[in-house]
Amino acid sequence: MRPTILFILFSPLIMLSEATAQYKVRGKITDNKGMPVLYATIELMRDSAVIQTCSSDSVGNYAFTNIQAGPYRLAGSYLGNRQVQPSFLLVRDTMVNIRYTAGTDKVLQGITVTSRRLLIEKKIDRLVFNVENSIVAAGGDATDVLKVTPLVKVKEDAITMTGKSGMAVMVNDRLVQLSGEDLINYLRAIRMEQIKTIEIITNPPAKYDAEGNNGIVNIILKKVKSDSWNASLTSSYKQATYATYSNGGSFTYQKNKLSFYADVNYTKGSKKGVETEYIPYSTGIWNNDFVRRVYANLFSIRSSLDYQLSDRVSIGVQYLGSFNKPETGQLNKTTVAHPSSNLVDSVIDATNNEKKKINSNAINLHSVVKIDTLGRSISFDLDYFDYNNNISRNFVTQSRSGNGTTLPGGFNAASNTGGQNLNIYSFKTDVKHPFSWVDLSYGAKIYFSKTDYNNAYYGLTSGHPVLDPARSNHFIYDENMEALYASGRKQLSKKWELQLGLRLENTQTKGNSVTLGTVTTNNYSKLFPTGYLQYTANEQHTFSLSYGRRLSRPRFNELNPFRVYYSTYSYTQGNPMLIPAYTSNIELQHSYKEMLTTIFSYSKTTNGIGNPPLFDTASKVSYLIDMNYYTTSSWNVSEIFVFNGISWWESENELNVFYNKTSTNRDLHLQNADGYGLYFSTNNNFSFNKSKTFRGEVNFWYQSPQFVDIYKQQDAESLDIGLSYSFLKRSLQAALVVQDLLRTNKDRAATNSGGIAYRYTDYPDRRFFRFTLTYKIGSQKVKARNQKFGNESEKNRAD
């Protein structure tokens, strides 16, 4: 491995020495009979860019001088016909003779051919949604664009991808280090007018971390002129059962070589959640009702500063801070009924209050060095991330008989206090090194993380806090990783294209349970290959085949063996013995024009990580323990139909039919699950005037009953509508959105664990309306440089 690392570290010097050399390209252009072609135009090209142009002389000779080493092509033009020759690698003075075959190309006179970029384009490893050709580009923000992006699902606080367990979001090829509501708020600060394209990457190449069975959405912003600035203020009011307010602002400045961006946002409010559980023990049927109120109190800031040192070297720094004080208050009522008479035997009332103080800071230092004009470059990223989560959780439980009499020993109270401190350091480098025969890229990454959990359990039943050492916990977890990758893309012919990649990741872990006096270590090296093959039959039909292998490491809190108690009869617990889950993905895609995309996919996950519901029939305690306990296979067929044939109406429709099969690989007496499912969505945008300042949307999705892991989920659907209007030359925009209008987006599932037919329902207040005002000043275009944090996959595993 050392020679490869040295090659990566010193490759900039190698490429720089190559780039300083200057060579000549000369030769002769002749026709198919060997006769010289006089005064023909000769073009020297790198990819599709013309580097130099000259003319052949009276005997057909031509010459180019002062050319840097690298891959090139020549094109000869004569009498309106142009022919491109095969590529060659220039490493010394070179002679290239051109054979010009007259009459092979048709000459078109008096005809101007214009073309429009397709709404959806198929590239070898991704789909590209050209937002500029969509009517949604007339107003709104990035979340509105993502709602009509193929394969992407946008809910109130989550963005997912069809057939994937998670999804990462990038802006200009750099990962956004946010998730959940933080991510949604950040995307709302990006105006539609800024967005050029959305790239949908269902099977990520070797360049990206192998962590997570995730897809990637890459938002590409439009290029803008220098000397521009822009500022915006946004205020939002959301009403569900309770109200939530959000206020924020952003500022972007770019002049000469300096680029600066800052965004701040503050959210405060609350929402209601209602959940029920049904647990039919043989001695009594337990019906649990939970009503919770979750309070949000979040301030976040994101800023970046970039400077162009020269035409070839840029440096920058990016900071992301999140300061959150969430609180949760929950009331639990459990009714225990006799299994035969259904009469109430007892009632258990419990209250649960939780307060958190979560602060995180992320700093990224980055630099990009362009070696030459041929596309060769190297980038560096140095990252630091700290995460501190201080928790205080109290619960009180009171048991009574069916007639309301307090039961002896039925009172219990306790508190969990403590927290998590996480620190991550990482460094990575990426090199682009194209040759005439292949476009090559390679790189390396290392990271070091340390997380420290220190939690105490206090009994409060006596009225005074009493430390319980048996239920307290101190756990320290260290994880280090080193990675190398290489990827090459080759245009085999006009119709065939191939891309292959390989990533090697070596991981060392150490879990030290100080309380239990046990240490668990793990050291593993894994290869993650990726492959893509694309066939372009014609302008209407494109076929592609891809394969990728990925892993999902346990989240840090899933490794902590501490028991988090929510009541006397309920707790969750981590597991330091967890190992990563591995997933293999195969996809076959067909694209027809810009209208229809068909995807056949298969994925298989082994060592699946989860926390199935478990029940102690003697004590009536239900608990969740993280473990590797299942293998699942999934077959999917997706159809994506996009309609934009009417200037005022655009519709994106998706139908996904799938079959999931899950088998448990532990003797836990859990049910195996397999069955078919269906997902359908339609997203429709309307323009009510020619200027497209008055817009509306009607979106609907339906999910049939399906099996996910060991659960059988019931059907759900959601109808969302929205209106937006832009005033004052689009500087002021008002938007009204109503989500889950019919209140049908409920989570309902059932499974069998140890002979217990368990089922639950959950509705986290998804029906609401939101009114938003956004005021923008400054230039109409803005360039925000968003740097990818190199430790993104590790940070996503934090609590």
- The CA distance from 187 to 176, in Å, is 10
Of residues 35 and 313, which shows the higher confidence score?
313
Percentage of residues in the chain with pLDDT exceeding 90?
A: 42
Give 361-408 pLDDT, tens digit per residue: 989 999 999 887 777 899 999 999 898 999 999 999 999 998 888 888
Q: How confident is residue 132, by pLDDT bands cut at 50, 70 and 90?
A: low
Smallest CA-to-CA distance from 410 within 348, 331, 335 is with 348
Residue 8 lies in a domain: no
Give 445-462 pLDDT, tens digit per residue: 999 999 999 999 999 998
User: What's the pLDDT score for residue 166?
Assistant: 64
Q: What's the number of domains the chain is made of?
A: 2
Q: What predicted TM-score, i.e. pTM, was given to this entire model?
A: 0.79
Q: What is the dihedral of CA 276, 279, 280, 284, to 10 degrees?
A: -90
Tokens at 271, concatenated:
């929402």
**Looking at 54, 75, 99, which one is the last position of a domain?**
99
- Mean pLDDT to the nearest integer, 263-273: 91
What is the SS3 assignment for 633? Answer: strand
**Helix, strand, coil abundance in the chain, percent, nearest 5:** 5, 65, 30
Q: How confident is residue 639, by pLDDT bands cut at 50, 70 and 90?
A: very high
Exposure b/e, 304-328, CB count within 10 A at least 16 = b: bbbebeeeeebebebebebebbeeb
Tokens at 673, concatenated:
């699950």
**Looking at 71, 99, 127, which one is the last position of a domain?**
99
User: What's the pLDDT score for residue 102?
Assistant: 55
Q: How confident is residue 152, by pLDDT bands cut at 50, 70 and 90?
A: confident
- Mean pLDDT to the nearest integer, 93-101: 81
User: What's the pLDDT score for residue 745?
Assistant: 92
- Those residues whose C-beta lies under 8 Å from the C-beta of residue 207, and which sit 6 or more positions away, are 430, 441, 443, 485, 487, 501
> Of the ranges 91-105, 218-232, 236-250, 324-338, which one carries the lowest mean pLDDT score?
91-105
Give 665-675 pLDDT, tens digit per residue: 777 888 888 99
Give 2-31 pLDDT, tens digit per residue: 444 444 444 444 444 444 457 788 888 888
Please tell me whether residues 578 and 722 are part of one structural domain: yes
Q: Tell me how crowded residue 271 is: count the other CB atoms within 10 A of its CB.
A: 21
pLDDT above 70 (res 754): yes
Q: How confident is residue 512, by pLDDT bands cut at 50, 70 and 90?
A: very high
- Those residues whose C-beta lies under 8 Å from the C-beta of residue 266, and which sit 6 or more positions away, are 246, 247, 248, 298, 299, 300
pLDDT above 90 (res 342): no
Q: How confident is residue 114, by pLDDT bands cut at 50, 70 and 90?
A: very low
Q: Count of alpha carbons within 13 Å of 525, Cβ hemisphere only?
A: 6
- The CA distance from 201 to 214, in Å, is 9
Residue 62 lies in a domain: yes
Give 721-737 pLDDT, tens digit per residue: 989 898 888 788 898 98
Residue 221 lies in a domain: no
| Mean pLDDT score across all residues of the chain | 84
- Mean pLDDT to the nearest integer, 97-108: 56
Q: How confident is residue 252, by pLDDT bands cut at 50, 70 and 90?
A: confident
Report the CATH number that the domain containing residue 35 is assigned in CATH: 2.60.40.10
- The CA distance from 436 to 47, in Å, is 9
Alpha helices, DSSP H, located in 575-669: none
Max mean pLDDT among 82-91, 162-171, 350-359 falls in 350-359
pLDDT above 50 (res 718): yes
Please tell me whether residues 436 and 577 are part of one structural domain: yes
pLDDT above 90 (res 311): no
User: Using the 8-state DSSP alphabet, how is residue 187 labeled?
Assistant: H
**Looking at 70, 99, 128, which one is the last position of a domain?**
99
Give 406-423 pLDDT, tens digit per residue: 888 889 999 989 888 999
- List the domain range (segments joined by +) for residue 314: 228-795
Smallest CA-to-CA distance from 207 within 317, 320, 129, 125 is with 125
Residue 780 lies in a domain: yes
User: Using the 8-state DSSP alphabet, how is residue 97 labeled?
Assistant: -
Residue 166 lies in a domain: no
Residue 559 lies in a domain: yes
Q: How confident is residue 161, by pLDDT bands cut at 50, 70 and 90?
A: confident
Report the CATH number that the domain containing residue 385 is assigned in CATH: 2.40.170.20
> Of the ranges 42-51, 361-370, 539-548, 741-750, which one carries the lowest mean pLDDT score?
42-51
Question: For the chain, how many residues are written?
Answer: 799
Residue 160 lies in a domain: no
> Of the ranges 21-30, 243-252, 492-501, which one carries the lowest mean pLDDT score?
21-30
- The CA distance from 281 to 336, in Å, is 10
User: What's the pLDDT score for residue 123?
Assistant: 82
Residue 388 lies in a domain: yes
